[in-house]
Amino acid sequence: MLGCQNKDINYFSYLSLGETISLPDTLPNIKQIVSYIIESEIISIKTIDSMKGLSIEGQCLSGKKIILQVKLKQKLLYVGDVPEKTIHTFQNEYYKSATIAIPSIIKGSDPEKLIENKYLQTNIELEDYKVKKIDCRTIFNSAIMYIYTTLIPTHELCYCVYRNKSSSNIFISFENGLSIKQLTFSSNNKNIKPLWSPDGSKIAFLSNENNKSDYYLLYVYYLKNSTVKRITDISEFDCIYGFNWSSDGRHIVFSGSKNEQKDIYIVDINILEYTQLTFGTGNVNSFFPKCSHNSNRIAFLENISGITNLCIMNMNGLDLMRLTLPGHIHSFNWDVSEKNIVCIIDNDGKSDEILVVNTMNGEFHSLKIPQKIINIKKACYSPCNNYISFIGSDFVKEDIFIYDIKTLTTSNLTKNPRNAKISDLIWKTDSSDLYYAANTLQYFNIHSISIDGKNKHQITNTICTNIKLNYRPRIV
């Protein structure tokens, strides 16, 4: 079939063919062409680094190209210029090279890995052709081949669903909400806080046993073979409160308690070897660690006699630095550059405040947000570092707000109805959309919304009492 029939094209180019073909001496002269068939097959694919910039044709080159080797088969049927006027066939094969310009990163992933794992597939179609008889021994043929890539859907959303107060389980799905797969199957305990590993091959989560809220342990789910591995043991820790992956995907930094003392640890999930990073005593507790994007440093909360502050240290627990003055920090997140951290301050009954803290010198400034926003939660940077999103409440409803770092303006994306609650939000890796869990229709469901607020969709249909979600950082 001629022409492009695929509606999910990601990147494409054209291969133009044209040649003059002479018949071999063993075949009779051409009286009339009956048909001409050309078949194509991609026999090899690889990616290369290329220049960046804008081509003369207006094509944006981002530094990566797909190089393809294409095998072409031609078959000509014609009536021979002989008394019997018999049908004769001429066939030949030849090879061509083609390129497709692609982004250096696709959905947070290296294109070479996507191709290797068959998530990025390349196809070739015949768009148009023409064959013409030049003389009784020669023809001219031309063809336009359309070469394009398609990105195969994969599980990108991971979330825990609370059916009731005593149990919750973990699911994954495509970003459009389809192809839902349940990973845990518990009826009397909670599986919570799912978090993709940096390479997208594993999911860490917390789980309790027999619905004991103070008995959460750390587990890792391996997607490749659908197995679960317990990382912490009750003989070592009373409870795990928060955790975060290091960028190598092999270590997890977590806050664990021993004899009611909370400290930060790092564990190698392959050999289950722990290293303690903080050493609190008495009224000093450390919890909720988060690694910077390149895992050079760890930010965490330190509570001294009821006052919570934001601190950072290196991956060995050294070079400790307290970033905020005495206050009440209740959540924070790194930016991609690792220079800043956005955090939320509880101002003792007054409106919550969002601070941006410079991790190099400890300087900070407050974001100017609408005064009607009283309570704030889940402030985080977009992957492109141009925006800060957060959930804001005016006591009537909760909405998602976007703070534009360049224009210093805040906009309400969701504009939810009265009494709406939002339990969680997460950015898509290309910063084009956000995913969030809201109960706008009584039960909690997952929704997506574009950065301009124009495209808003509900992508699940459940009867959940709560949902916590996470987006896959990349695919390998």
What pLDDT is recorded for position 1?
31
pLDDT of 117 reads 81
Q: What is the mean pLDDT of residues 17-46?
A: 93
- Work out the percent of the chain whose per-residue pLDDT is above 90: 67
Can you say whether residue 180 is alpha, beta or left, with left for phi > 0 and alpha for psi between -120 and 50 degrees?
beta
Q: Mean pLDDT over residues 226-249, rounded?
A: 93
Beta strand segments in 106-234, E:
120-135, 138-151, 157-162, 168-173, 181-182, 191-196, 202-207, 217-222, 227-230
CA pair distance 323, 363, nearest whole angstrom? 8
Long-range CB pairs of 270-275, under 8 A, 24+ apart, other chains included: 272/231, 274/236, 275/317
Concatenating the DSSP letter of every residue in 310-336 gives EEEEETTS-S-EE-S-SSBEEEEEE-T
Residue 373 has pLDDT above 80, yes or no: yes
The pLDDT value given to residue 213: 65
> Could you give the CA distance from residue 466 to residue 421 in angstroms, rounded to a whole number?
10
Nearest in space to 268 (alpha carbons), one of 288, 254, 282, 289: 254
Q: Using CB atoms within 10 A of its CB, is residue 129 exposed (0-12), middle (13-18) or buried (19+)? A: middle
**Count of Cβ atoms closer than 10 Å to residue 276 Cβ:** 12
Q: What is 364-408 written as a DSSP string?
A: EEE----TT--EEEEEEE-TTSSEEEEEEE-SS-EEEEEEETTTT
What local confidence, expressed as pLDDT, does residue 259 receive?
Answer: 85
Q: Is the per-residue pLDDT at 5 higher than 50?
A: no
C-alpha–C-alpha distance, residues 207 and 195, integer Å: 13
Confidence bin at 57 (pLDDT 50/70/90): low
State residue 442's pLDDT score. Answer: 83
Q: What is the pLDDT of residues 319-346, one digit of tens each?
A: 999 887 656 788 899 999 999 999 998 8
- pLDDT, tens digit, for every residue of 120-146? 899 999 999 999 999 999 999 999 999
Domains of the chain by start residue, with CATH:
11-151 (no CATH), 157-471 (2.120.10.30)
For the cut 80, the answer to whether the pLDDT of residue 8 exceeds it is no
pLDDT band at 110 (very low <50, low <70, confident <90, very high): confident
Q: Residue 210: its pLDDT value, please?
A: 59
The confidence score (pLDDT) of residue 103 equals: 87
> Can you give the pLDDT at residue 212?
63
pTM of the model: 0.81
Q: What is the mean pLDDT of residues 370-393?
A: 94
Distance separating alpha carbons of residues 78 and 34, to the nearest angstrom: 5
pLDDT for the residue numbered 326: 56
| pLDDT tier at 23, thresholds 50, 70, 90 | very high
Question: What average pLDDT score do residues 219-229 get?
Answer: 94
pLDDT in tens, 184-209: 998 888 999 999 999 889 999 999 87
* Confidence at 163, pLDDT banded by 50, 70, 90: confident
Amino acid at 182: Q
Number of H helices, E strands in the chain: 1, 34
